[in-house]
Amino acid sequence: MKNIRNIFSSRFKSNGSFFMEITVILGFKPKNIDYFKTAFTHRSMNIKDSKGNVINYERLEFLGDAMLSSVIASYLYVEVPSGDEGYLTKMRSKIVSREHLNELGKELNLINLVESKIPTGQFGNNIHGNLFEALVGAIFLDRGYKYCEKFIYQRIVIPYVDIEKLEGKVISYKSLLIEWCQKEKKTFSYNVYEDTGNDDVRHFSVKLSIDKKIIAKARATSKKKAEEKASKRAYFAFQKSISKMI
């Protein structure tokens, strides 16, 4: 890690301050702070090591995602002995959903530690969850599985995981609605079109039809968001029937 340490020498000027902030977030002192500096380095910094390998949080994000899945899967396996593979997979997805990870990243103010040439105000919402995953990846490299597991339990499992509540939580209204339509042998279609109107930012509108009848309409800054919003509205129209499937 010596070469990486030299690369970081001109950054994170207040190393003592960064170390203390990371220590507060983790609840323990890091052994190698460079893992955590990497976890908060955005690709816009365009940093490479002596071998030409890119240094940013994206690889740690990949590792952290795997660690989160592993720890949560183990937790669910023990806590819900009656759950089959499909149930456990669905529950794990709810716990480590992008929405939830974004909330955790925001709660810890991780974006304040990012080194980037892009103003943080220009980042999308997913930056918060990406940083949380990168942080978990850095913990694994720095301290191993046990410390990683302890951090996940303290930050996710203990304060947020309630099996009964999670059973009724919807991750994606679109996926749920499609699953219900297929089960009930109903036809469905999403008619999406660009709808800028008088807005400076491009918008998309969607008309959701079930059995050739328009059930819901929505408008958002992306096709995905517009479809999800319309699906949520349609869900409430058929909530009683769909809820039996959850």
Catalytic residues: 65, 133
CA angle 68, 70, 71 (to 5 degrees): 70
Q: What are the angstrom distances between the C-alpha of 133 and each of 110, 115, 169, 198?
A: 11, 16, 22, 38
Rg from Cα positions in the chain: 21
Question: Which pair of structure tokens corresponds to residue 126?
Answer: 């997913």
Q: Minimal CA–CA distance to 176: which of 239, 96, 128?
A: 239
| Cβ atoms 233, 219 nearer than 8 A | no
Question: Which pair of structure tokens corresponds to residue 203?
Answer: 């918008």
Determine whether 226 is exposed, middle or buried from the number of CB atoms within 10 Å of its CB (0-12, 13-18, 19+). buried
Where would I find the H helices in 12-84? 15-26, 33-39, 58-79
Determine whether 120 is exposed, middle or buried from the number of CB atoms within 10 Å of its CB (0-12, 13-18, 19+). exposed
